Amino acid sequence: MTLLKLEQLYKQVVLEHAQNPHNQGQLVMPTAQIRLKNPTCGDVIELQVMIENKIITNIKFTGHGCTISQASASMLTNTVKGLEIKTAQKVITNFLAKISGQVITQADNQQLKDAAVLSSIAQFPTRIKCATLAWHGLAEILENEGK
Amino acid sequence: MDNSKKTVNVRQDFAILATQMNQQPLIYLDNAATTQKPQQVIEAIMAYYNTANANVHRGTYTLANNATNQYEQARTTVAKFIQATAEEIIFTRSTTESLNWIAKSYESKLQTGDEIVLTVAEHHSNIVPWQQLAQKTGAVLRFIKLDQTGKVSLTDAQQKITNKTKIVTFAYVSNVLGMRAPILELIKLAHAKNAITVIDGAQAMAHFPIDVMQLDIDFLAFSGHKMYGPTGIGVLYGKKALLEDMEPLQFGGEMIDEVTQDTATWQKIPWKFEAGTPNIAGAIGLAAAIDYLKKIGWQKIISHEQALMQATFKNLKTIPNLIIYGSQVPEDHYGVISFNLADLHPHDIATGLDLAGIAIRAGQHCAQPLMDYLHVLATLRISTSIYNQSSEVRKVAKILKELEAFFKS
Ligand SMILES: Cc1ncc(COP(=O)(O)O)c(C=O)c1O
């Protein structure tokens, strides 16, 4: 019963991303970076991006944290790599809407790629912070870049 | 009430224990964060509002006089609880506020080069106020280390407490390790250097009696909500002479003696510190919590909690990859035990426990310096109380095993 519910949150894709995170590491010459911290649990994520001609050409992260925060950071990097700043901003908005329980269009959902499965977090409000940490961080970077 | 020697059964006093969390019977093991409140406390607060509510120290009418009497009676109850006198008891909002007040009031008493000694095991609320005091006065913070077993090291304390030391402050019981500081020895070391002692009693009050006279404590801070009382009420105990020497930190009604257009004089202690309308119902609720503890009796509380801690250890020790921090002896733990399970993140485990109806804490427990010192990023923490029972910790151990298997598969 308990484990069944747990499986809804920790879907296979989530566990895979956490165990073998994509784009983990550091960029040689990032154009922007941010350090994020969740003070209640101590999770830390450092996000580095390479932005050229308003396109996210590369993105990597380091840090430590729970399964959800690591998987979510890994998914984020996959989802936004190669996107234009404006598109990435929209994707982030859609992601945040989806995991707070709102319905988004099929097309928007597809654009989220693996990250779409994190919508199950909507049922686990105590973990939303973990799932959104990296996304909020990128949003902050992009806002500064867009200025 | 169950009269068997080892344990008490007070569960019927706590309505919340009969509720469910995530469709499972609630197992509440986050008592170091805040305890649940017994019916006796809730009823005392209700009775006050239903029958005696008025502002204190103001009205000339009988109702106001009753309210004042109840509020001051609560002060006396708190005073007796720690063997102090009523005038030495100031009602605050919480441990945090009490500690801030002391730190603030020493801004005019410290100078560059003075030292404030604490331990590496402090809660943020017993670190940050002292950091601020140090920044404002040029004083320096010095941290006493822990020994191998997690005990505050007296050898190191002897090195750190010197003629420069003006304040020695520490948690009587650590909210992460659950271990008791060697309070008598530390206070003696402090007093030998004419330093004052500030004790953070937040995690101690619910677990064993404290005698401020016998321990020769200068200041003691604690919260009602961690000892079966309501939130929003705390206590600052100070020795009479020290309180008289302190300036008020807030100004307004209740605390004044005489006011002219340009000047004012203060009331005597403790009232000179209590500006404005205080948390009357909170004080009455706290007194009811103290009466409740007294009615059960320390002997029973202590033997119940010790038996429970032994059961907790026994059950956790059946899990091979589980590491307990601090002492490995159950008797050294006062209601708190921190641990990690293999290399699994505490938050993931806590979510799994939550789904099983089990409330325990995961994270840094407002003690980042201690986490650094232990070289851990975060821990899980079980904290017990008089209403917990061994069947509950048995279930925790069972679920922990299931979770380990789930995350490792
Ligand atoms: C050791 C210790 N000190 C201080 C505090 C702060 O207590 P409060 O939040 O009631 O002010 C706590 C509470 O977690 C604590 O455990």
ipTM value > 0.90: no
Query: pLDDT tens, B355-374?
Result: 999 999 998 889 989 988 89
Q: B290-293 — which CB contacts under 8 Å span 24+ positions?
A: B290/B77, B290/B78, B290/B81, B290/B227, B290/B229, B291/B40, B291/B77, B292/B13, B292/B38, B292/B40, B292/B41, B292/B228, B293/B206, B293/B227, B293/B228
- Residue matched to tokens 């948690």: B171
* Interacting residues of A110 by C-beta distance below 8 A, sequence separation 6+: A116
| Residue among A2, A6, A41 minimizing CB distance to B347 | A41
Dist. CA B179–CA B176, nearest whole Å: 8
CB contact under 8 A, A41 and B378: yes
Confidence of residue B143 (pLDDT cuts 50, 70, 90): very high
For residue B226, the ligand 1 atom closest to its alpha carbon is 10
pLDDT of residue B1 exceeding 50, the answer is no
pLDDT score, position A123: 86
| Chain A residues in contact with B407 (beta carbon < 8 A) | 10, 15, 67
Report chain B's mean pLDDT, rounded to a whole number: 95
Pocket probe mutation, ligand 1, options B225, B226, B228, B336, max atoms within 8 Å of Cβ: B226
> Do B406 and A6 make contact, defined as CB atoms within 8 angstroms?
yes
Q: A130 alpha carbon to ligand 1 midpoint, in Å? A: 25
Reported as a pLDDT band with limits 50, 70 and 90, residue B5 is low
Can B3-30+297-408 and B42-294 be said to share one CATH topology?
A: no
Q: Please give the average per-residue pLDDT across B304-333, as a whole number.
A: 97
Q: What does the H/E/C string look like for B115-182?
A: EEEEECCCCHHHCHHHHHHHHHHCCEEEEECECCCCCECHHHHHHHCCCCEEEEEEECECCCCCCECC
B 370-399 residues with CB < 8 A to A:
371, 377-378, 399
- Please say if B366 is a catalytic residue: yes
Q: What is the predicted pLDDT for the residue at B2?
A: 42
Catalytic, out of B26, B86, B366, B397: B366
Q: Measured between beta carbons, which residues in chain B are less than 8 angstroms from residue A66? A: 345-348
3-state helix, strand, coil in chain A (%, to 5): 55, 20, 25
Identify residue B144 by its one-letter amino acid code.
I
The whole-angstrom distance between residue B38's C-alpha and the CA centroid of its chain comes to 18
Percent of chain B whose predicted confidence (pLDDT) is above 70: 99
Q: What's the pLDDT score for residue B344?
A: 94
pLDDT at B166: 98
Say yes or no for a CB contact (<8 Å) between B402 and A68: no
d(CA B35, CA B45): 17
Answer whether CATH 3.40.640.10 is correct for domain B42-294: yes
A77 touches A89 (CB < 8 A): no
CA distance A10 to A137: 23
Q: A99-113, B56-70, B201-215 — which one is most confidently predicted on average?
A: B201-215
- What contacts B97, CB < 8 A, 6 or more positions away? B234, B236
> Domain-by-domain residue ranges, chain B?
3-30+297-408, 42-294
Ligand 1 touching residue B96 (CB < 6 A): yes
Residue B15 has pLDDT above 80, yes or no: yes
Name chain A contacts of B352, Cβ cutoff 8 Å. 2, 6
The torsion angle over the Cα atoms of residues B69, B70, B76 and B80, rounded to 10 degrees, is 150
- Tell me the pLDDT tens digit for each residue of B73-123: 999 999 999 999 999 999 999 999 999 999 999 999 999 999 999 999 999
Mutate to test the pocket of ligand 1, among B118, B180, B203 (most ligand atoms within 8 A of CB): B203
Please classify residue A24 by burial: count the beta carbons closer than 10 Å to its beta carbon, then call 0-12 exposed, 13-18 middle and 19+ buried. Answer: middle
Regions in chain A scoring below 50 on pLDDT: none
Query: Does the Cβ of B126 fall within 6 Å of ligand 1?
Result: yes
CB of residue B95 inside a 6 A radius of ligand 1 = yes
How high is the pLDDT of residue B6?
64
Contact yes or no for B332/B180 (Cβ under 8 A): yes
pLDDT score at A108: 95
The yes-or-no verdict on residue B216 having pLDDT over 70 is yes
Asked if B151 and B327 touch (Cβ cutoff 8 Å), the reply is yes
Nearest chain A residue to B345, by CA: A66
pLDDT recorded at residue B256: 86
Q: What's the burial of B42, exposed, middle or buried (CB within 10 Å: 0-12/13-18/19+)?
A: middle
Q: Which fold has domain B3-30+297-408?
A: Aspartate Aminotransferase, domain 1 (3.90.1150)
Instruction: Give the C-alpha separation, A88 to B264, whole Å.
Output: 62
Q: Does domain A2-146 have CATH number 3.90.1010.10?
A: yes
